Amino acid sequence: MERLNTNKKKIVNDPVFGFMTIRSGLVFDLMEHPYFQRLRRIKQLGLSNMVYPGANHSRFEHALGAVHLMQSAIDTLELKGADITPEEAEAVMAAILLHDIGHGPFSHTLEHSIVEGIPHEEISLMLMEELNRQFEGRLSTAIRIFRNDYPKKFLHQLVSSQLDMDRLDYLRRDSFYTGVAEGTIGSDRIIKMLNVHNDRLVVEAKGIYSIEQYLLSRRFMYWQVYLHKTVLSAEFLLINTLRRAKELATAGVPVFATPLLSIFLTGKISRTDFTEGQLFDGRPLLGLFAELDDNDILASLKQWQYSDDKILAYLAQSLITRRLFRVRMQEQPFTEAEIAPMLREIERRFAVSPDEARYFLFCDSITNSAYTGGDDTVNILFRDDKVLEISEASDVKIAGLSKVVQKFFICYPKALDIK
Amino acid sequence: MERLNTNKKKIVNDPVFGFMTIRSGLVFDLMEHPYFQRLRRIKQLGLSNMVYPGANHSRFEHALGAVHLMQSAIDTLELKGADITPEEAEAVMAAILLHDIGHGPFSHTLEHSIVEGIPHEEISLMLMEELNRQFEGRLSTAIRIFRNDYPKKFLHQLVSSQLDMDRLDYLRRDSFYTGVAEGTIGSDRIIKMLNVHNDRLVVEAKGIYSIEQYLLSRRFMYWQVYLHKTVLSAEFLLINTLRRAKELATAGVPVFATPLLSIFLTGKISRTDFTEGQLFDGRPLLGLFAELDDNDILASLKQWQYSDDKILAYLAQSLITRRLFRVRMQEQPFTEAEIAPMLREIERRFAVSPDEARYFLFCDSITNSAYTGGDDTVNILFRDDKVLEISEASDVKIAGLSKVVQKFFICYPKALDIK
Amino acid sequence: MERLNTNKKKIVNDPVFGFMTIRSGLVFDLMEHPYFQRLRRIKQLGLSNMVYPGANHSRFEHALGAVHLMQSAIDTLELKGADITPEEAEAVMAAILLHDIGHGPFSHTLEHSIVEGIPHEEISLMLMEELNRQFEGRLSTAIRIFRNDYPKKFLHQLVSSQLDMDRLDYLRRDSFYTGVAEGTIGSDRIIKMLNVHNDRLVVEAKGIYSIEQYLLSRRFMYWQVYLHKTVLSAEFLLINTLRRAKELATAGVPVFATPLLSIFLTGKISRTDFTEGQLFDGRPLLGLFAELDDNDILASLKQWQYSDDKILAYLAQSLITRRLFRVRMQEQPFTEAEIAPMLREIERRFAVSPDEARYFLFCDSITNSAYTGGDDTVNILFRDDKVLEISEASDVKIAGLSKVVQKFFICYPKALDIK
Amino acid sequence: MERLNTNKKKIVNDPVFGFMTIRSGLVFDLMEHPYFQRLRRIKQLGLSNMVYPGANHSRFEHALGAVHLMQSAIDTLELKGADITPEEAEAVMAAILLHDIGHGPFSHTLEHSIVEGIPHEEISLMLMEELNRQFEGRLSTAIRIFRNDYPKKFLHQLVSSQLDMDRLDYLRRDSFYTGVAEGTIGSDRIIKMLNVHNDRLVVEAKGIYSIEQYLLSRRFMYWQVYLHKTVLSAEFLLINTLRRAKELATAGVPVFATPLLSIFLTGKISRTDFTEGQLFDGRPLLGLFAELDDNDILASLKQWQYSDDKILAYLAQSLITRRLFRVRMQEQPFTEAEIAPMLREIERRFAVSPDEARYFLFCDSITNSAYTGGDDTVNILFRDDKVLEISEASDVKIAGLSKVVQKFFICYPKALDIK
């Protein structure tokens, strides 16, 4: 960080928000911890830079941006009379700083390839607890807020809800770095409209339109960026490449990987390996995970291009040289009648078995909705202290707001199109 | 304009779009005409700067921005094989340049106060015809396009439709100058998605999300800026002030006005005065109108603060010193039972007659919808040449997209609140 | 202003700085005063919008922007231990808010045309003193700071010096609205580097490069915007038009003007008219001046196009229709031998007397330097508490930093070029 | 890239320049080549993200941005009558696309650590020649332009000179991603001012101020970003870490590295290994180099933290966890008397030999100048066809413009400060 002051306040120069001042000493100390420094080496948007070349921003900047917004939210709420002690303010900032600490490299893609059965939130929590030990309990309140075990529920909502500082930062940041300017949300305006009512985070009535704009911009960013079909195609390749490498490795076929990745590639890692502190190479698994980053994946992928296994080599090379697979998308599922001849063609062209052919063809579906009510609703506070859920409060009562749209896609080598 | 080149191409430095190059000689000559130069002295957003202090941009910049986008649209359509001759390209640029030439000062507010019964589009057309005479017929095609009399209907749509270059520019520009960043639309992306199909402007299917985002940003800008309640309050004041001044003037009471405004204030101007070329002070009315601008209104308003007529003085002073009226807004109409006591209170406080009290209280309604289908639809072109209207094509089939929302408001002096 | 909060803090949405929060109640009350509201109707850059169409921003926004930066500067200095009481903080903010309150319309151009012999700073002071009476002494400290009569000298420097908040705001703001992005200065960074040393404002040593960049950007903005030759040409026209109107008016020739401008046009206004409170139309001159704005000038100019006086009509029409005069610029003064034949040609073409010909030709010079040392220096604080002037501290010891560059220019009707 | 059109023109969405259209088919084909795709995995600014967390942009985006500016420059020059054939236009765009193709990971830092005695320009040329073989001679003109062997010398200047498109892009881009807004240069304006005179690239006289602003912004970016002392400290660590790893590897100590890096770490690579096509692991060295990227360095560094060699482990860990060394900077060289006790302290603390202590302490100097005349000058074209070098033409004749400033610095572990 560009540190302009030598005293307690630290300043980080951010392309999105300008100078961001970190006021909390605890937050600053956490930033310097290797667990957090690792986030510099994990891209926020994984493979999206295959489509948007500017999207190389890291989880590190995102977490700092979320802290910056949290400070602003706390200031606003305090001004409106919300009861937040200095300790709670520091805790909620620590919680937002660390909310993504458990993300691995290319997390959304590889969550189930590298570590099975453990969502990243759970790993975040394990790492926070380890940090709490190292920081001698200074993170206890932050952890309770993160787990939603803390009495003041609105603090948890600032960290994790439809309107949390995580989303407010990542939507603005992703919009900025992809160059998709029309995805910009009014994070400043939304924060100024926040209030606390009956221990719940609410938005004041005049912020309704901002919330609508926010929900629909989020939906737009999903279609335009997060679920962009070329991004999906790249992610599918990565998943299948890792899957193949793991299959080979567990079958005893020598597959190069960086030492860190090797551990996760060869051993079948389960939740208990994490929780019971089993040692690998003499080190606990959690600590090893906390060192894994994009470089392990990419350095290994590059080598796999030259693997003796033709499938692994083909997949890795397609990704590294950006010979991405064709994607087709439609509103109905692809039928067996459509898929079967394609698989046979793959078997023929690539001289692979039916099982192996599945590495070259991938069918799945994506879903998107602007707003998923359920437990976690956005609530609007009216002058008469009436509170309505946004889908009730919106004057257009946008039917589509919470409608879930599902699309089906299929990916396969472009060579198949040229018959 | 900042002119960097001495040869035909002219460059204008625009805060929104950067360097804008004007390629057409005709457009450049029109820009230099006094009718167009007048637009420098008319604010695009009228009184919105009462709420958004940065919103001082002029109709002049807006028209140039629309030409800039038009050039980009033509380039895109030509690349996709649309049949546009160089003459048509120049004509459609001239048409967009002049599309707002008939706007008077504070146009949306005063359209019916200054000139009754003639919409600004009609005056635009009269001015374009006058320019056509001066330019010896070089504007004939532009006028046919503007009137929708030209065979290639998509050219008119570029000038006036749900997706015209007028809207694409003003939404981006208004968002920029008000500082309402989340109202930004993806004008670049939308233009790249345009195509022509069966002589109609269409948007390619992958642009659906951009169109949705555009329609909803437009709706957001309406609520946040154009129909902002404080802006409404200021506009109400301006309308009533002009109405009072006109009432006095036509009753023979001496009311100061700039010589230009005097003509429109004292005479009851009708359509035939324009069309039959009646002379005022020895000059045709159209020419006089083409010199009227914000300065006439504001310079007169300032003097009215000191009028002997207490009503005119009160209203003018409220506006000039920004002592705006209170606004209340609700979803139901205000009833006579609510209004009557307020009018009586006004009579008492301001010592005015029941008729005069109406100058101090204003009830009306505003409506807003993201999309008004009807004749002028946004059509989406799918791969199989199928064309669907956006409200059909949108996967959420957003119910609220074309729903018209109506709100009722009442404005009155703040003094009434303190009883 | 867009007011998001109903309690004491007011928020203004600014295109340059985003949401600006006004924390001081005094500042907010001053903002609502008619003297300050007038600044909405005075363009910051006068006629620069003839070259940069986006440059329509007002002195109102500039003053608020300067307050915003002042708040940031105070926060920084307090954090570094500078002794600033809450009263002083409020006073220095009031002082920066009002620093330009005495500017008239097109101030830099018309300072000597409308009111002779009284610089705008002096009028600012008179208005501040009048406000102090109305605010019952709450502005006394602000006035002392403004006059540099206050013991803590660095407070005055924040309001008026080489590094005052006035300049930091207007350079960024003018760069933004003209679209001259490369004129952007690092106002945030500079403010973070400020400190107080021996009661003087200093910049910490690591800010040297920012200061150099700032000084040279300022010089760039001068050449590119403020002294742009087309802007000079327009300003010359305005000066000469006003001069002619005044000459006619004082000679008893009827010349239309708005009632406010009339007073300044017909009477020869001197300092004592202001200070001794002489009444015009029954009102003190200072109060009348405090109502004058761009609309008075432009509304009058428009009418002058139709004056019986051919000279006034020609000049006014040239300006209103943007038929600006040709400008030639060179490094040596224009000689009598160059000028004389041009004047004779003007006499012949326009059928005017030798004296009158001077209205059509204007010779003058402009000067520019990045940095004018003298009393008001920029001082750099090194770690060992050594303080050096920037021209000493800069490692390139930029010779040109304080070099004054002079250029000579001549303006005349373009018709003269076509012989 | 986000590809909006399926026909020849490709569009890339860039956060800096918005939509960039790639018009040349050759350029597009080159973009898809693995040599060029590799640039996605090399950061433009190496370790600068240690100070500016947003500075994660890649050489890939930079090269595309430079092509975008080149297209604009060609359009401008053609409009002004410069003789550029379509083939030359395509060649100069290919040349700028590939100008940095020979950069390795962390290039400025590691140029001499990974490959000794071969500057990156020479490797760029070898790769271009290899591409020319693969593209069957379509790059011949591009190569001649790149080598300055082509008759029209101004084409080479567009690729490599004080005003080349490389610098115009990287200065704007680096300013954007670091958040150092005041480093912004007016690339659009400069390009509009370019012309060709006597086969040399010149800037028209009215562009003088833009050039001055550009040269001084460049200098500012050097001090503020490229030579920022914390960046220097990180780079020193990286150099020394690689040096230690190489020392160990060549001494036969087993040091983990990715297979690609291993080749460059263990073998002493010389120019002839490249030129004579010596095979390593059965593959020519040039091809291996063309696969090396940031991931090889970072993945290896991470492992080195656990090396048995304490020096390597200490250095690698300092970098990966951002425990950067202290930097002191001064205008005079550090003397042996200053350094010797520090080295002894290092020996004592780290229990290393005098030779080994040198890994923990680094002394060097940096130099910076805004403008280095010599052969490669910036020339200004005046109206009378006179051409002057910028340092002559600038009206301030800025003495410091070409003055070379040298600073000396020393880096050492922070632990040494606490005695």
pLDDT of residue D1: 42
Chain C closest-CA separation from residue B354 CA (Å): 30
> Of the candidates D9, D192, D206, which has its C-beta nearest B19's C-beta?
D192
pLDDT of residue C413: 96
Task: Please state, in angstroms and rounded to a whole number, the distance separating the CA atoms of residues A146 and A155.
Answer: 9
- Same domain for C222 and C233? no
Q: What is the pLDDT of residues D321-367, one digit of tens each?
A: 999 999 999 989 999 999 999 999 999 999 999 999 999 999 999 98
Task: Please state, in angstroms and rounded to a whole number, the distance separating the CA atoms of residues B99 and B65.
Answer: 12
The pairing of beta strand C200-204 with beta strand A279-280: unpaired
Q: Does C4 touch chain B (CB under 8 A)?
A: no
Average pLDDT over residues D67-93: 97
Is the Cα torsion angle B120, B123, B129, B135 positive or negative in sign?
Answer: negative
Cβ <8 Å between A192 and C4 = yes
pLDDT of residue C291: 96
Domain boundary residue, one of A324, A344, A361: A324
Domain-located, residue D5 = no
> Of the candidates D40, D41, D179, which has its C-beta nearest A18's C-beta?
D179
Q: What angle do CA D77, D82, D84 make, to 5 degrees?
A: 95
Bridge partners, A280 (sequence order): A283
Give the count of Cβ contacts less than 8 A between chain A and B: 79
Q: Which residues of D376-400 are buried (b: 16+ CB within 10 A; e: fewer)?
A: ebbbbbeeeeebbebbebbbbebeb
pLDDT of residue A5: 39
Q: Does C321 touch chain A (CB under 8 A)?
A: no
Averaged confidence pLDDT in chain B: 91
Question: Contacts of residue D409 in chain C, CB cutoff 8 Å?
Answer: none
pLDDT of residue B273: 82
> Of the candidates D184, D223, D397, which has its C-beta nearest C209's C-beta?
D223
pLDDT of residue A394: 78
Residue C3: pLDDT band (50, 70, 90) is very low
Question: Contacts of residue C11 in chain A, CB cutoff 8 Å?
Answer: 192
In the block, tokens 């029954």 appear at: C282
D397 pLDDT exceeds 70?
no
Cβ <8 Å between A19 and C79 = no
Nearest to A357 by CA among A298, A280, A413, A284: A413
Q: Does B21 touch chain C (CB under 8 A)?
A: no
The pairing of beta strand C379-381 with beta strand C200-204: parallel
Q: Does A256 touch chain D (CB under 8 A)?
A: yes
Q: Does C220 touch chain D (CB under 8 A)?
A: yes
- Same domain for D297 and D363? no
A6 pLDDT exceeds 60?
no
pLDDT of residue B286: 92
- Same domain for C170 and C300? no
The pairing of beta strand A10-14 with beta strand A18-22: antiparallel
C51, C172, C216, best to mutate vs chain D, most D CBs in 10 Å: C216
B369 pLDDT exceeds 90?
no
Task: Please state, in angstroms and rounded to a whole number, the distance separating the CA atoms of residues C182 and B404.
Answer: 45
pLDDT of residue B1: 42
pLDDT of residue D418: 63
End-to-end CA distance of chain C: give it in Å, rounded.
54
Kindly compute the dihedral angle of the four CA atoms of residues D302, D308, D310, D313, in this order, to the nearest 10 degrees. Answer: 0
Domain-located, residue B4 = no
Give the count of beta carbons closer than 10 Å to the beta carbon of residue A332.
Answer: 8
Residue B153: pLDDT band (50, 70, 90) is very high
Question: Contacts of residue C331 in chain D, CB cutoff 8 Å?
Answer: 395
- Same domain for C260 and C111? no
CATH of the domain at C165: 1.10.3210.10
A192 pLDDT exceeds 60?
yes
Structural domain harbouring A167? 10-227+375-401
- Same domain for A185 and A158? yes
- Same domain for D385 and D341? no
Cβ <8 Å between C397 and D400 = yes
Domain-located, residue B141 = yes
- Same domain for C282 and C343? no
- Helix axis angle for B294-304 and C294-304, nearest 10°, is 120
Average pLDDT over residues D376-395: 86
- Same domain for A73 and A191? yes
Give the count of Cβ contacts less than 8 A between chain A and D: 122
Chain B closest-CA separation from residue D86 CA (Å): 19
For the ranges B62-66, C382-386, D211-215, the one whose mean pLDDT is highest: B62-66
Query: Would you give the distance in Å from CA D36 to the centre of its chain?
Result: 15
* Chains interfacing with D (3 or more CB pairs < 8 Å): A, B, C
Q: What is the pLDDT of residues C21-37, one digit of tens each?
A: 999 999 999 999 999 99
Cβ <8 Å between A37 and D322 = yes
Task: Please state, in angstroms and rounded to a whole number, the distance separating the CA atoms of residues B292 and C302.
Answer: 9
pLDDT of residue C374: 73
Output C319 or C267, whichever has higher pLDDT: C319
Nearest to A190 by CA among A66, A73, A80, A82: A73
Q: Does C53 touch chain A (CB under 8 A)?
A: no
Domain-located, residue D3 = no
Lowest mean pLDDT among A110-119, B368-377, D3-12: D3-12
| Per-residue tokens: D164 | 């080349």
Bridge partners, B407 (sequence order): B366
Question: Contacts of residue A34 in chain D, CB cutoff 8 Å?
Answer: 320-321
Output A281 or B353, whichever has higher pLDDT: B353
Domain-located, residue B2 = no
- Same domain for C278 and C314? yes
Cβ <8 Å between C182 and D181 = no
Average pLDDT over residues C134-149: 97
How many percent of chain B have pLDDT more than 90?
76
Q: Does B15 touch chain D (CB under 8 A)?
A: no
Residue C182: pLDDT band (50, 70, 90) is confident
pLDDT of residue B277: 75
Domain-located, residue B5 = no
Average pLDDT over residues D293-316: 97
Average pLDDT over residues A127-144: 97
What are the Cα distances from residue B228, in Å, to A398, B170, C4, C18? 21, 17, 12, 18
Q: Please, are residues C62 and C107 in contact by the beta-carbon 8 Å criterion?
A: no
Q: What is the pLDDT of residues B75-121, one digit of tens each?
A: 999 999 999 999 999 999 999 999 999 999 998 778 777 777 788 88
Output B275 or B135, whichever has higher pLDDT: B135
Task: Please state, in angstroms and rounded to a whole number, the distance separating the CA atoms of residues C175 and C217.
Answer: 10
Average pLDDT over residues C88-103: 97
Cβ <8 Å between C223 and D209 = yes
What DSSP string runs through A317-340?
HHHHTT-PPEEEEESSPPPHHHHH
- Helix axis angle for C294-304 and C259-266, nearest 10°, is 80
Question: Contacts of residue C188 in chain A, CB cutoff 8 Å?
Answer: 18-19
Task: Please state, in angstroms and rounded to a whole number, the distance separating the CA atoms of residues A342 and D364.
Answer: 62
Nearest to D311 by CA among D256, D237, D252: D237
pLDDT of residue B351: 96
What are the Cα distances from residue B350, in Å, to A11, A216, B358, D97? 56, 48, 12, 75
> Of the candidates B9, B18, B188, which has its C-beta nearest D188's C-beta?
B18
pLDDT of residue C392: 82
Question: Contacts of residue D182 in chain C, CB cutoff 8 Å?
Answer: 184-186, 189, 210, 213-214, 217
The helix/strand/coil state of D93 is helix
- Same domain for D359 and D390? no
Nearest to A322 by CA among C161, D204, B31, D35: D35
pLDDT of residue D60: 98
Q: Closest chain C residue to B224 measured between Cα atoms?
A: C2
pLDDT of residue D4: 40
Cβ <8 Å between C57 and B56 = yes
Output D274 or C210, whichever has higher pLDDT: C210
Number of folded domains that form chain C: 3
Lowest mean pLDDT among B161-165, B364-368, D321-325: B364-368
pTM (2 d.p.): 0.94
Output A419 or D168, whichever has higher pLDDT: D168
pLDDT of residue C397: 55
Task: Please state, in angstroms and rounded to a whole number, the distance separating the CA atoms of residues C295 and B94.
Answer: 30
Task: Please state, in angstroms and rounded to a whole number, the distance separating the CA atoms of residues A332 and A338.
Answer: 12
Q: Does B377 touch chain A (CB under 8 A)?
A: no
- Same domain for A282 and A298? yes
Q: Closest chain B residue to C55 measured between Cα atoms?
A: B57
C10 pLDDT exceeds 90?
no
Is the Cα torsion angle C347, C352, C358, C361 positive or negative in sign?
Answer: negative
Q: What is the pLDDT of residues A31-61, one digit of tens each?
A: 999 999 999 999 999 999 999 999 999 999 9
pLDDT of residue D6: 39
Q: Does C11 touch chain A (CB under 8 A)?
A: yes
- Same domain for B146 and B295? no
Residue type at C198?
N
Nearest to B304 by CA among B319, B292, B326, B283: B319
pLDDT of residue A268: 74
- Helix axis angle for B86-97 and B140-147, nearest 10°, is 70
Q: Does A139 touch chain C (CB under 8 A)?
A: no
Averaged confidence pLDDT in chain A: 91
CATH of the domain at B339: 1.20.1250.30
Domain-located, residue C2 = no
Q: What is the pLDDT of residues A270-323, one digit of tens each?
A: 788 887 877 887 889 999 999 999 999 999 999 999 999 999 999 999 999 999
Chain A closest-CA separation from residue B216 CA (Å): 7
Q: Does B15 touch chain C (CB under 8 A)?
A: yes
B1, B2, B3, B4, best to mutate vs chain D, most D CBs in 10 Å: B4
D75 pLDDT exceeds 70?
yes
